[in-house]
Amino acid sequence: DRVQKFDPAGQFITEWGGYGSESGQFSGLMDIAINSEGFVFVTDPGNGRIQKFDSNGQYVSEINTEYFGPKFIVIDNQDYIYVTDRSHGPAIKKFNSDGSSNESWNVDPNLDAHGIVADSNGYIYVSNYRKITKLTPEGAFVTEWGETGTGDGQFSLPYGVSDGLGLAIDSDNNIYLADTWNHRFQKFDSEGIFLGKWGGRGSEPGQVSFPADIVMGPQSRVYVSDRYNHRIQAFNISQTTSNNKAIIVAGGGQYEANNLWNATQTCANFAYRTLVYQGYTKNRIYYLTPDTDLDLDGNGELDDVDGIPTNANLHSAITNWASDAQDLIIYIVDHGGYNTFRMNETEILNAADLDLWLDTVQLSIPGKVVLINEACHSGSFLSNLTPPPDKERILISSTAADELAKFITQGSISFSNFFWTNIFNGLNIMDAFGLAKEALANATIVQTPQLDDNGNGIGNEAEDGYLAQTTHIGNGTISFSEAPVIGSISRGLR
C-alpha cells in the first residue's frame, strides 16, 4: 500500500503511503495515472476513493467514488479521468479534471473491466478476462477483439483474479496488453489487428512471470511490472515486435596454428547470449562456429549452431536466410588481415565479397545493416563496405586499418567483450562503442576502434554516430540495479 517513484534509469527517488484510511494512506492500492499538470492520481479501492498527490507525494485532495472498488485509471489528453469499477463489473466512471462526477457507463454486463487506456482521439480501450473493447469518448461500443487461448491475439485471465491485463498506448495509438496468464505482452493496432508479441515465462531479463501492468514511457520505452519476479523491466518498443535478425561468425577453429580459438569462441558465445538477453529468439540468430555441440540457451539440446564458418555458409545466411529481416546485425570474430578475414583454416573472406553480399541483402530488407568486425586490421574493411544509395549501414571495426586486435585473458579484455557488455546493459550502439573504446584506452591497449555510419567508408568522423546513437541491438532492456560502490578501504594486515 505505497507508491514508489523512480527515475527513467530505475534509480529510487521517493515513496509515500502506507496502510490505512487517513489522507495519504491506502487500502488495496491498484493503479496510478498522471495528468497534464503532473499531479498523481491513485486508485484506493479499499477506501472507495481516488487520491490526488503532487509529484513529490504530497497529498492534495481526494475524489469520493460513491461506490466501492475504483480499480484501473487513465487520464486522457483533456484531463478527463476514467476509472474502472471492480465491484460493479461493467461500470466505467468518468470524472472532470477537478474530480467532479461527470458520467457512468454500463457498457457490458460481462465486461468486468481491468486495464483501461485512452488514445489521442479520445477513444477508450478496456481489457477484461478474454477481450479488449473499444468505446467512443461518449462510451458507445465501437469494436472488440480477443478470445481465450495462447495463440496470437488470444489471452486469458481466470475469473476472480483481481488484477492483470494492463494496457498501454503509444503515440501511434497502438495498444499494448500485459497478457498476464500467458507471461508475455502483445501489440495491436487501434482496430485490434495483431502486430506482435514478446516475453515468455522465466526470470531471465526479457522474460516475465505473471506480468500485471504496462505503461508507456519516454524515449520509445515501455515499462512493465514483472510481478512474481518482483521487478520492473524496460523495453525499447521499436525492437520488441520486430523481425530483426543476427548472424554470428566464430571463425577459425581448433587447428594447430590457431592460438586465438579460445578467445574467439568466448567472444562469439557472449555475443549470442547478449542477443538472447536482448530479446532475439533462436530462430532469429544464425550462428556459424566449428564447435557445433553448444547449448547456449540452456534448453538441454545442442540446437544453437546453424553451421560451420565457410564463405558459402555466410553468403547463404546473408543473402537467403536474412532476406526477410527488418534490420540485420552481423558479428564476425577471428584472425584478420588487410581487407581479409579468416573464416577457417583454409578459407579467407575478402572485403569485396562481403560488400557484394551486403549490397544484395539490402536490396530486399527495409532496414539497416550493422556489422561488427573484431579482427586484426579490421579497419581496412570500412572503405570497401559503403552501402548502396539511400540505404543505412553501421560499420564497426575493433582496430584501425594498420593495427592488431588484442585479446587478453581469453578475450575478457578485448573490444568485443567491452562492446557486448554495454549492449547487454541496454545501451545504444554509439554509447556501447564509445565506452568500449574508452575501456581499451584505460587498459593501455594501443588499439583504435572505428565507427562509420554516414556511409562514406571513413571511421570516427565528427559526422559519424548519429545513426548509431538512435539504434539499439535488440530490446535495449535495462537492468534496474545499482552498480556496487566501494565505501571504504581498510588497511591490510602485515
Question: Does residue 270 sit in the same domain as residue 372?
Answer: yes
Question: Does residue 281 sit in the same domain as residue 405?
Answer: yes
Amino acid at 292: T
Is 490 contained in some domain? no
Give the CATH number of the domain where residue 216 resides.
2.120.10.30
**pLDDT score, position 202:** 84
Domain that includes residue 337, residue range: 245-469
Question: Does residue 206 sit in the same domain as residue 328?
Answer: no
- Identify the DSSP state of 493: P
Of 63, 37, 34, 31, the C-alpha closest to 50 is 63
Task: Out of 240, 257, 288, pick the residue that ends a domain.
Answer: 240
Question: Does residue 385 sit in the same domain as residue 458?
Answer: yes
Is 492 contained in some domain? no
Alpha-carbon 198 to chain mean position: 9
Is 478 contained in some domain? no
Is 476 contained in some domain? no
CA atoms 336, 341, 343, 348: torsion sign: negative
Give the CATH number of the domain where residue 430 resides.
3.40.50.1460
Question: Does residue 92 sit in the same domain as residue 185?
Answer: yes
Which stretches in the chain have pLDDT values below 50?
481-486, 488-494
Question: Does residue 321 sit in the same domain as residue 350?
Answer: yes
Residue that the C-alpha cell 485512452 belongs to: 118
- What DSSP element (H or E) covers 81? strand 81-85
Distance from C-alpha of 322 to C-alpha of 360, rounded to nearest angstrom: 11
Bridge pairing between strands 328-333 and 369-374: parallel
Distance from C-alpha of 474 to C-alpha of 472, rounded to nearest angstrom: 6
Of 367, 487, 482, 486, the C-alpha closest to 425 is 482
**pLDDT score, position 347:** 97
Cell of 98: 477537478
Interior CA angle at 30 toward 25 and 31, to 5°?
Answer: 100
Is 9 contained in some domain? yes
Bridge pairing between strands 101-106 and 116-118: unpaired
Question: Does residue 74 sit in the same domain as residue 36?
Answer: yes
Where are the extended beta strands (E) located within 313-438?
Answer: 328-333, 336-337, 340-342, 348-350, 369-374, 393-397
**pLDDT score, position 489:** 45
Q: Where are the alpha helices (DSSP H) in 302-388?
A: 311-316, 351-362
CB count within 10 Å of CB 226 equals: 21
Question: Does residue 434 sit in the same domain as residue 452?
Answer: yes
Number of domains in the chain: 2
Is 493 contained in some domain? no
Is 489 contained in some domain? no
Question: Does residue 74 sit in the same domain as residue 101?
Answer: yes
Question: Does residue 17 sit in the same domain as residue 163?
Answer: yes
**pLDDT score, position 39:** 95
**pLDDT score, position 486:** 43
Question: Does residue 195 sit in the same domain as residue 264?
Answer: no
Question: Does residue 85 sit in the same domain as residue 111?
Answer: yes
Q: In what order do the strands lie in the sheet with 245-250?
A: 285-288, 245-250, 328-333, 369-374, 393-397, 450-452
Length of the chain as a residue count:
494
**pLDDT score, position 87:** 62
**pLDDT score, position 125:** 95
**Model confidence over 88-140: pLDDT tens digits?**
555 788 888 888 876 777 666 566 678 899 999 999 999 988 899 999 988 89
Task: Out of 188, 214, 240, pick the residue that ends a domain.
Answer: 240
Is 435 contained in some domain? yes
**pLDDT score, position 484:** 47
**pLDDT score, position 206:** 78
**pLDDT score, position 325:** 96
Task: Out of 206, 240, 274, pick the residue that ends a domain.
Answer: 240
